[in-house]
Structure 1
Amino acid sequence: MSLNETMTGLMNTIRTMSGTTDKLSVDDATRITSSAGQWGVRVPNLISDSSNEYQLVQETTNNTKQLYSGAAKAGIKYSLHVTVKDLSYDTLLNIGVYDQNWTWLEGINGTETIPAGGEGVLHLNYTPKQDGFFQWSIMQRDSKAINCQYKCAMLNEGDYAPYTSSTTPYTVDELANRLEKLENKLGGVVKALPSVLLPVRGCAA
C-alpha cells in the first residue's frame, strides 16, 4: 500500500471518528486525535443551522451581519471559526457580549483579518467573565455594506475543533464503542497516531 493510500485511509477513519467530511490537514488530524478525550471526539456545534455549502451574505444598512446568538457561561472558553470568500472589504469576526439582562458589555474582535477579495478561515476565542449572552458576526473594519460568502461556521466549547454540522455529542457508550472499532481497524495505531503524523505535518488527504 502506498503512503498516499495509507494517509487517505487514516484520514477517512479520523473523519468518521470526528463527524466531519471535509479534507483534513495533518495538523487537523493531530488535533482531533490528541484532543479526543477533551471534547468527546465529535464536539457539538452550537450553531445549529451551520452548513458546509457556501451561503451568500449581503447587507446594505450597516457593517455587520449577525449570524448567531446564544447563552455564554462564565469561565468557559468558546472557539469560533468560519470559512469565508468573495469578500468586498477587509473582514474579521466579532463577538458582542451582553449580561443576563441583555445589557451591552463589550465587543471583541478577532485578531485575524482576511483582505478584500481573499478567502480563508477566520478564528476567534472568547472566555466570558460572567454568565450572559453573546452574538457573533462577520464584520468589516470600515462601515461598509457586507458582501461575502461563508460556510462551515463552528462554535464550540473548548479549544478549536474541526467543523461538524452535528449538534449532539456522543454518549459515553457510543464513544467507547466508536473508539473500540477505530482501534481494531487501525490495529492499535490510534494511540500513537499524533506522533506518527507529526513528521509529515502540513499535508492533507
Structure 2
Amino acid sequence: MTKQALSDQAAAIAPCDLDQPYYYISYSTREGETVYKTVAGLQAAGANLWIDTEANLIQGDGYNSSIFKALASPKCQGIIFFMSQAAMTSAQCAKELNYLKSTPFLANHGEDVPLILVELEDIDAHDDEKWVEGLLYQTYQDDNLSAAEESRIEKYREKYNPKIDRLTSKYDVAKSILPFLLAQEAGRVPYGSPDPVADLRPLLK
C-alpha cells in the first residue's frame, strides 16, 4: 500500500466519541494497514475506539498530550494492543503502556485496566514471556535506541511519568511492555485469525 493510500485509510476512520466509553488502540504504524482495516471493521460493528488519527488529536495540544489525555480519561475502558516485534520495540508503545502506572492514569482507573491483545505474529503457545526473553532478546539486546528516541523517552519521564525505567535498547523497550501484558491480559486474538473483527467484538465490554 502506498503512503498516500495508507493516509487515506487512516483519514476514513471515524473520530472517537469522547463522551461515551471507548477503547484505546496501541500499535506500530508499520502495521497501519492491518490495524486501520481492523479498526474500521470494529467501528462498523458499533465499537467506539480512540486511535491516533488526525480526527482524534486535540487542536492546540501536542501529540503526546492528546494521547495521554485519551488514556487517562475515565471513559477509556481498556486498550487493544496489536502485538508485533515492531510494536514491542516501539518507544511510543512503551510510553503508552507505561503510562498505565502514571499518577493521572491511576487516579481515574486504578490498576485494573484490561489489555486485549491482537497477535500480528505467530507467538509460540501464546507465551509472551518466552517470546520476549527468547526471540526479542536475541534480536534486539544490542539494538540501541537512537539518540532522538532516548531523548524523547527522557522528556516523557520528566513531563508525564517519572515511574518509567530508563530505556536504552529496543529489548529494554519490549521488557518494559511485557509486565502489562502478563498482568492485564483480558483476552487475545491469535495470529492467523480469519476474522479478527469477529474475534474482538465479544471482548469489548
Asked if Structure 1 and Structure 2 have the same fold, meaning a TM-score greater than 0.5 normalized by the shorter chain, the answer is no
Could you say which structure has the greater relative contact order, defined with CA pairs below 8 angstroms and 6 or more residues apart?
A: 1
Q: Which has the higher strand share?
A: 1
Q: Which has the higher helix share?
A: 2
Higher Cα Rg: structure 1 or 2?
Answer: 1
